[in-house]
Each structure stands twice: as C-alpha cells, then as structure tokens.
Amino acid sequence: MIVTRFINDLMSSNCYIVEDEISHSCIIIDPGSVESKREIEHIRLRNFDPIYIIISHEHTDHNWGVNALREAFPNVKLVCSEECSKNVSIANKAYFLFYYDDTEYSYEISPSDIIIKENQNIVWSNNRIKFYITPGHSFGSMCIGVNGYYLFTGDTIMPYNPYFNGRDSNEDDWLNSISLIERLYGDDTIIYPGHGDSLSLGSWAKGYKKL
C-alpha cells in the first residue's frame, strides 16, 4: 500500500492517492484542486486504475477536483456520506463567496455513485475500506479507514485545534465522533488528516485533542 499526498490549491488541504500495487488500482481521497492535473498525471504515469473517489465532507477544498477526475476516468465511482451529498452544493456556494471572492462562479458535483448512510464497508481488491460517519466539523463529515491501520480523517482530526464554522458544525457532535474513533482505533494508528502532516492517533490526542 502506497499513500501519496498532494496539497490542494484551495486552502492547502490534502488530497491522497492510495495505491494497491498488487491489483494496480487506486483510490483518491479529497481531491480539492480544480483541475486535478497533478493527480491525473500521477495516475496515468503509474498506469493505475482509479476505482473510487472518496470525499470526507462537503467543503469545497476537499472536492473541487471531483469533476475533472470523473471526466478523465469515466469509470471511477464517487463515494460520500448521505449528508455530504445533500449539502455539497450549499457548502460550495459558501466557499466561493467567502474564500474564492467570485460571486459569479458556480461549481456543482453530479450525484454520487455510492452514498454512505451508516458505518459501512467497501471491498477494494483485497483491501477493506471502512467508513465512519463523524459529524462535527460539518454535517456530512466521515472518516475512512483502510485495512484497519490507515485512517483518513478529513477535517474531523487534524494537527490543529478543531474548527467549527458556525454554519454546519457542532462541537458536541465532534466530541461524540472523536470518542467513536478512539474506541475503534489504537494510539499507533496512522492518521492522514485533511490539512497538515500525518501523525499517530496517540500523538494527536496528546497534542491537539483538547479544545
């Protein structure tokens, strides 16, 4: 399993390409650069087959590149939570008003292929992808576990203090979501966050868990 990180154009969020060298396939998590040029080039150079695009939540800096990837790879399937699917258009409008400074710009994501309603599994080659619904940072947030060791947390867990924007976030929900993750994963679990460098769950709990 190889994890490659790309820094997205909007707000320096993280996009991850996770590669399975046995099946020569990959998944893409949180593509947030509008044209996804580096990600597309990387996948083509590696001659990998992209199976899933997974977005951890509805904020634009984690999904701005979805359309470009789907155009480049028509067979790839988009995966997100039910709440993310409902709220993605609203969240994107807010981002372009407040951060992109272009009231005329619009960005829509076509419907997801797989909508996660509860904590579910998807099998990818010989890999098990587990989804955890983790509202708090946003209504549609979820964490993505791969093979019980790699954990992609979006903005639910980051090497920063938690952020609640007041529109679609809730501190109590976040605390419940954190408790869920800590019950299921050990301190040595490697976290790949939506912003910043990867770290262990134990390191995060010691350094950033407290509000």
Where b means 16+ CB within 10 Å and e means fewer, 109-137 reads: beebeebbeeebebebeebebbbbbbbbb
The Cα 147–Cα 202 span in angstroms is 19
Please say if the pLDDT value at position 124 is more than 90: yes
**C-alpha angle 20-82-134 in degrees, rounded to nearest 5:** 75
Do the beta carbons of residue 33 and residue 17 sit within 8 Å?
no
Rg (CA), the chain: 16
The Cα 52–Cα 113 span in angstroms is 9
Among 157, 138, 151, 168, which Cα is nearest to 206's? 157
Any idea which of 20-34, 71-85, 161-175 has the lowest mean pLDDT? 161-175
What pLDDT, on the 0 to 100 scale, is given for residue 114? 93
Please say if the pLDDT value at position 211 is more than 60: no
What pLDDT, on the 0 to 100 scale, is given for residue 100? 66
The fold of the 2-207 domain, in CATH, is Metallo-beta-lactamase; Chain A (3.60.15)
Residues facing 111 on adjacent strands? none
What pLDDT, on the 0 to 100 scale, is given for residue 32? 93
Domain boundaries, the chain: 2-207
Q: Helices marked H in 56-198 — which ranges? A: 66-72, 82-98, 171-184
Q: Could you report the per-residue pLDDT of 168-186, keeping only the tens digit for each?
A: 888 899 999 999 999 999 9
What pLDDT, on the 0 to 100 scale, is given for residue 135? 94
Mean pLDDT in the chain? 90
